[in-house]
Amino acid sequence: MSDAGEIPALLVRGLTRRFVQGGAVIEVLRGVDLAVARGEIVALLGPSGSGKSTLLQAVGLLEGGWDGDIAIDGTPARGLDDGARTLLRRQRLGFVYQFHHLLPDFSAEENVALACMIAGAPRREALARARALLVPLGLGSRLSHRPSQLSGGEQQRVAVARALANRPVLVLADEPTGNLDEDTADRVLAAFLAQVRGAGAAALVATHNRALAARMDRIVRLDHGRLVPA
């Protein structure tokens, strides 16, 4: 947790998101207020359709169309052009999804290193960073394996390493263990929490699993587009 008065990793105020479907206006987010402190891991609970993924997409600057205010590490997102949003996303944010989205033709090590290289790191430095992240995740003997040669849990651990590759201030995770069996999900979450905490990053983790959510620092719940007491 960060000191009082420190700029939060994430600050959301009055966030709304509407879609038009069949001529009707559907309000998915209805004035969401949320702050995530530096180093804090927050679970975002809610059933399917509650708006969790929409909130993460907005906070991750992956789509427009929202109203309200979003600030990442003190930088307001409103009014930024595409290039500035891309740079803010690349420098301050990491992402873990329900499906790993690894590149099939590259090894575990290369999948992580590519994130660093896209951000401008030389290849040798990027590969060293990838190894430094993958080895503590128990993947030291799997560095040269492609995604098809890895188990589901191993693939997700590579995805966790990739999310942390560029030392983000905030990691956004959307049901990161949703495709895994209970035992594997437990191990992957433990690895995720250890790595995020070890990096000093904050995280907002969408899940429907209360047992997993209970292992995080704080729980918030989204219900019909509004944050309500957990």
Nearest-angstrom CA–CA distance, 206 and 56: 8
Q: Is the pLDDT of residue 131 over 50?
A: yes
Q: Is the pLDDT of residue 208 over 90?
A: no
Residue 9 is assigned to a structural domain of this protein: no
Residue 216 is assigned to a structural domain of this protein: yes
Residue 75 is assigned to a structural domain of this protein: no
Residue 3 is assigned to a structural domain of this protein: no
| Burial status of residue 157 (CB atoms within 10 A of its CB: 0-12, 13-18, 19 or more) | buried
Q: Is the pLDDT of residue 179 over 90?
A: no
Backbone angles phi, psi at 38, to 5 degrees: -60, 130
The whole-chain average pLDDT of the chain stands at: 88
Name the token pair of 131. 């190894």
Nearest-angstrom CA–CA distance, 35 and 137: 29
DSSP-assigned letter for residue 59: H
Residue 143 is assigned to a structural domain of this protein: yes
Residue 7 is assigned to a structural domain of this protein: no
Residue 219 is assigned to a structural domain of this protein: yes
pLDDT grade for 117, boundaries at 50, 70 and 90: very high
Strands (E) across 46-153 are located at: 66-72, 75-76, 93-96
pLDDT grade for 209, boundaries at 50, 70 and 90: confident
Nearest-angstrom CA–CA distance, 71 and 161: 24
What mean pLDDT comes out for the span 9-26?
Answer: 84
Domain of residue 149: give its range.
39-65+80-228
Contact 164, 119 (CB under 8 A): no
Name the token pair of 101. 């989205």
What mean pLDDT comes out for the span 31-41?
Answer: 93
Q: Give the CATH number of the domain where residue 224 resides.
A: 3.40.50.300
The number of domains in the chain is 1
Among residues 92, 57, 43, 96, the alpha carbon closest in space to that of 72 is found at 92
What mean pLDDT comes out for the span 84-92?
Answer: 90
Q: Is the pLDDT of residue 223 over 70?
A: yes
Provide the whole-model pTM.
Answer: 0.89
Nearest-angstrom CA–CA distance, 135 and 109: 10
pLDDT of residue 69: 92
Share of the chain above pLDDT 70, in %: 98
